[in-house]
Structure 1
Amino acid sequence: MKFEDYHIAPEIKRSLEKAGFKRPTDIQFKAIPAIMKGEDVLAIAQTGTGKTAAFAIPVVDLLSRQKPSSRAEGIKCLVMVPTRELAIQITEVFERIAQYTSIKAISVFGGVEQAPQIAQLERGVDILISTPGRMFDLVSQGHIKLNRIEILILDEADHMLDLGFIKDIQDLIKFLPKNRQTLFFSATINEKIKKLAYSLVRNAIRIQISPQNPVARNITHSVAFIGMDDKRFFLERVIKENPDKKILVFVRTKVRAERVFKALERMEIEAVTIHGDKEQKDRLEAMASFRKGEVKILIATDVSARGIDIANVDYVVNYDLPEQAENYVHRVGRTGRGVQKGIAVSFCSPEEKPVLDEIQEYLGQPIDILKISTTDYSETLDFTADTTDDLKSLMKEVEEFESRKKKHKKR
């Protein structure tokens, strides 16, 4: 079935054609008809399956078919998401799909001045995409009214629970009309998520897209055994052997992100970082420069592993293995999206082997080992452009980062 065969508004078909959408993905094929019928939906699908369009297409269609009404009547659809980056990305998808309709979508999130967001809200909005903190701030100030919500969408619900937003979600329900449509999207399912989901949805259509291999088939992923202190040299080699490739590097902590950035800087390799201690403006600039390909290397913590759709990422490098096994899937899912091929490589130090075992157990299969000969290993260390290998220099980098962080908190 093609999108042109769906009973959706011609304006939406036009925008889908312009965006190159021809056939629905599995999650879109199963979710769109149910949502268009007004059903509640509980959908479990791995990252990169097209979840955002699965709810954005039918929601824009439903709202565009309503009789014209004043936006002063209130927001009709609320989309709750765990992170700022995801809020921005989902808003872009709604805008693209709704571009030939009168439907207006905006996002609100913390970390930036609220005045411009309030101004947008005052001009009227049909679809609001928001993180919990900023939304409740604006509700308490009277800038957001939720009494006319017709559709509630929770996206990346499992990640929202991981970040401790369960009470916010439960509090949110008190503000919403009981007679509403609820769409619950999550990459994973467990008892806690199931309990929350069934407290929100009514007689929901359950959709589960769960291939035997949680990692998409078009991603080649492997692991290399590398000493913790040698990882930066192997990252340098990957980058220099792939000068035109877009590479997303995942590290475990904010301090590690800055250390890797400094190491690449010494190697005269341009990179940008994104993590929770960066100003929102800097995070947006880093994402924009990486998306456009102006900078080929993005170093990120797991704040960027979930749901972020960055086009044409050629490589994902797990510089550090993730603390939670399921985050491995979310990380490597940043490459090989849609029909594109992707490569993911993980650097595993001896102390990380127990984490690797957990990841392989979660995947239900071993990860291919990238064998590095003794000669190759030695040559990688010998030919590095980074000649700074003393502990004092590394500790100084950490101290500088911590000092900047303290100054930021005082402001």
Structure 2
Amino acid sequence: FLLPVVEKLIAYNQETIKQQDRPVLSKDIQVVILSPSKNLSRQTYRVCSRLLSPLDYNMRCFLWGDAKMKDDVETFKRCTRGGGNILISHPEALKERLEYCKDNKGCSITFDKKHFTLIIDEADVVLRTKTRKLAELLVQLPEATSIGLYGATCTSSPETFDFIHEKMGDVVHLEEQDVKWDDNFDDRDLANGELPTPKTLVSAEMLQKICPRDGTKRCVMIRDAVNTQLNLSNRFMWVKADDRLSILVHLIKQHATKKHFIFFNTVESLAYVGAILEHMGDGAAGVLMGFNIYQVHGELKEHQKVSRFQNFIDDDHGVLLCTDSTIAFGIDIRNVDYVIHYDLPLQPRIYIHRVGRTARM
């Protein structure tokens, strides 16, 4: 979702140059990106910073909610006018900082009402778990000219459709016969030739039928797609409950040079298995010597979670024990080879998010 956001800001600057013979010079916020967690906000900020760094027009992105409230606001106040500002946060942190600025003189946070985009990443999670905070926040934001909802399980969430009906328009589900696909690239030289035309999802006739251009109806077209990556191999084992731990150790040792995610439903289950695995790695047991075991869950302090998470990212081969609330949604770690469900996920959508930690682009 960052690519179209940045493209819109570039187009905005280019249009301003044509009309006023200069790029945009503003401290207004053009884009707000909301995530369900600090981890995901940090990840989005890192990617956004890399995207903007080689570009013209002095476009910037800011991360709110990772530092102290006063520090976040002061960083934004010190910035100079530029070609666009992208604010990345989670609903509670952004709401608190906007209220802080409202109550403190000399702290002015303004939004570009004519070019304001709202992005909600892992939208079904935000809409389901941050309902009240999000509603209170949206009152403080201008009406968005563009809204984007992103997430692997958005279309299976009733909260998503409630939000779409309220903020965006009528939902139109596309049937298979409505959709045209152009996926045949076998005879094309993509490396040296022209890029193919983007896919045409809906014919002009069908589009006019389901969503007329006379302005009488706003439409959001949705087509449910395959939820897991095609290169993802899904396997399961029937085992006795008493054998789970020994089989887990066997799987880790069998793939000793790989990186593993191991998911648990509760902190208690994670801590129990984690203590045993760490004991197996010390000199007395020696069963898992040379394996680095990392535990990340919601009861750790923020700096502990960040440190362990980063150590796992930097490790060539490690084992990360985690719960769904801390890792499953949207976190992007490359070169993860295996996802193991020590505890079965309680809902299908949780399974989709868990297995999405591997087989990534």
- Common fold, TM-score beyond 0.5? yes
Distance apart, 1:235 and its partner CA: 1.7
Of 324, 327, 345, 2:347 maps to 324
* Residue 201 of structure 1: aligned partner: 168
Matches of residues 212-291 of structure 1 in structure 2 within 5 Å?
213-268=226-281, 269-291=291-313
Ranked by relative contact order (alpha carbons within 8 Å, sequence separation 6 or more), the top structure is 1
Q: Does 1:298 align with 2:254?
A: no
Q: Deviations over 1:355-411 (max 9, x none)?
A: xxxxxxxxxxxxxxxxxxxxxxxxxxxxxxxxxxxxxxxxxxxxxxxxxxxxxxxxx
* Residue 120 of structure 2: aligned partner: 154
Distance apart, 1:128 and its partner CA: 0.7
Q: Deviations over 1:48-73 (max 9, x none)?
A: xxxx44544434534554554445x3
Distance apart, 1:178 and its partner CA: 2.7
Q: Deviations over 1:324-382 (max 9, x none)?
A: 221101101110112xxxxxxxxxxxxxxxxxxxxxxxxxxxxxxxxxxxxxxxxxxxx
**Counterparts of 1:98 and 1:162 in 2: how far apart (Å)?**
31
Of 127, 132, 145, 1:167 maps to 132
Q: Deviations over 1:292-314 (max 9, x none)?
A: 22561111111211111111101
Q: Is 2:258–2:317's contact at 8 Å kept on the other side of the alignment?
A: no
* C-alpha spacing 1:53/1:218, structure 2 compared with 1 (3 Å): farther
**Counterparts of 1:315 and 1:172 in 2: how far apart (Å)?**
38
Residue type at the aligned position of 1:284: V
Matches of residues 6-405 of structure 1 in structure 2 within 5 Å?
52-53=1-2, 55-62=4-11, 65=14, 68-71=23-26, 73-101=27-55, 102-109=58-65, 113-124=68-79, 126-142=85-101, 145-148=109-112, 150-163=116-129, 165-178=130-143, 180-186=145-151, 187-189=153-155, 190-201=157-168, 206=220, 208=222, 210-211=224-225, 213-268=226-281, 269-293=291-315, 296-303=318-325, 304-338=327-361
**Where in structure 2 are there 5+ consecutive unaligned residues?**
17-21, 102-106, 170-216, 282-290
Distance apart, 1:204 and its partner CA: 6.0
Q: Is 2:39–2:331's contact at 8 Å kept on the other side of the alignment?
A: yes
User: TM-score scaled by structure 2?
Assistant: 0.71
Q: By percentage of residues, which structure has more helix? A: 1
**Counterparts of 2:259 and 2:222 in 1: how far apart (Å)?**
31
Residue type at the aligned position of 1:277: E
Q: Is 2:118–2:144's contact at 8 Å kept on the other side of the alignment?
A: no
Distance apart, 1:167 and its partner CA: 2.3
**Counterparts of 2:144 and 2:323 in 1: how far apart (Å)?**
39
SS of the aligned residue for 2:320 comes to strand
**Counterparts of 2:4 and 2:242 in 1: how far apart (Å)?**
45
Distance apart, 1:184 and its partner CA: 2.1
Q: Is 1:272–1:295's contact at 8 Å kept on the other side of the alignment?
A: no
**Counterparts of 2:344 and 2:126 in 1: how far apart (Å)?**
21
- Identify the range of structure 1 (113-122 vs 154-163) with the bigger mean alpha-carbon deviation: 113-122
Distance apart, 1:317 and its partner CA: 0.6
**Counterparts of 1:274 and 1:96 in 2: how far apart (Å)?**
27
SS of the aligned residue for 2:292 comes to coil
Distance apart, 1:155 and its partner CA: 1.4
Distance apart, 1:129 and its partner CA: 0.8
* C-alpha spacing 1:104/1:233, structure 2 compared with 1 (3 Å): same
**Where in structure 1 are there 5+ consecutive unaligned residues?**
1-51, 339-411
SS of the aligned residue for 1:221 comes to coil
* C-alpha spacing 1:233/1:117, structure 2 compared with 1 (3 Å): farther
SS of the aligned residue for 2:235 comes to strand
Distance apart, 1:148 and its partner CA: 2.9
User: TM-score scaled by structure 1?
Assistant: 0.63
SS of the aligned residue for 1:106 comes to strand
Residue type at the aligned position of 1:309: D
- Number of positions where the alignment pairs a residue of Structure 1 with one of Structure 2: 283
